[in-house]
A = this chain, B = another copy of it.
Amino acid sequence: MSPKDKVMHTKNVKTLHAIQSEVENTNRIALSVDCVIFGFDENKLKVLLIRSDLKKYSGKWSLLGDLVFPKEDLDAAAYRILKQRTGLSDVYLEQVHTFGSVNRHPAGRVVTVTYCSLINVQHHKINILDNELHWHDIKTVNDLAFDHQQIFDNCLKQLQKRVQEHPLGFNLLPKKFSLRDLQNLYEAILDIKMDRRNFRKKFFTMDLLIDLNEIEQDASHRPGKLYAFNYEKYEKKQKKWVGIDF
């Protein structure tokens, strides 16, 4: 992703009117995507939200979404939203769940496919001048518009589960990070405290971190060593996944 990528905040995004014309007076089902975009900043897990453009939900925040174009792949629609709102391409994006209750959307029958995305806020920060967009600490997210609270809760739970099974977290960190950064990330996502020494041991025995032989700059005390995630090595590994446990 390059900093030259322009951010298109509200351009090309269908509004309430578009949605209504899509479903109004028809017996059709409209299809949308909604993206739950996570970031990690100041040791807090954050989510990118936009002010709702519906009167009924004025003052409320909502997820970033749009209708799917008729000749657009579903995943492509999600990538489009992401690019529009963050200027970023080549980011982690995964489908989570589809919400399709008849009355979930006030403008009519809109079924929405939700996606979870993890981005590095440092790459995005420079672009967030639009005050319609805001990074919210996930701990303060409540009362979103529509059924977006439910969607968000579902997505967060999925993230908490997936981050323990796959190396997704690194998408939220800079390429170079300290063990403390990594632990702070996991503690923020899982909302728990972990033992520093066992956490370290865990990741070292996985043997998927590249020691960069560099140390943190600007640390107020003893600086930690910097690491990068070894994606190549991870790809070669095949997880032994059998273990009944419920």
The 8 Å CB contact of A70, one of B72, B109, B167, B192, is B109
With A28-B28, A29-B31 in contact, do A102 and B245 touch (Cβ < 8 Å)?
no
- Contact of A164 with B244 at beta-carbon distance under 8 Å, contacts A70-B27, A111-B31 already known: yes
| Chain B residues, CB < 8 A from A28 | 28, 70
Verify if A166 is at the interface (C-beta below 8 Å from B). yes
Interface status of A74 (Cβ within 8 A of chain B): yes
In the assembly, how many copies of this chain are there?
2
* Contact, CB under 8 Å: A100 / B68: yes
Which of A122-130, A134-142, A235-243 is the contact stretch? A235-243
Question: How far is it, in angstroms, between the C-alpha of A100 and the C-alpha of B71 when the chains are bound?
Answer: 10
A98 and B101 contact, CB distance less than 8 A: no
B residues less than 8 Å from A71 (CB atoms): 102, 109
* Given A31-B29, A73-B100, A167:B95 Cβ within 8 A: no
Kindly list chain B residues whose C-beta atoms are within 8 Å of the C-beta of A228.
none
Q: Give 27 A-B contacts (CB < 8 Å), ordered by A residue.
A: A28-B28, A28-B70, A29-B30, A29-B31, A31-B100, A31-B111, A68-B100, A71-B102, A72-B102, A74-B98, A74-B101, A74-B111, A95-B97, A98-B98, A100-B113, A111-B113, A161-B241, A164-B241, A164-B244, A165-B245, A165-B246, A167-B246, A190-B242, A192-B242, A202-B244, A206-B246, A234-B246
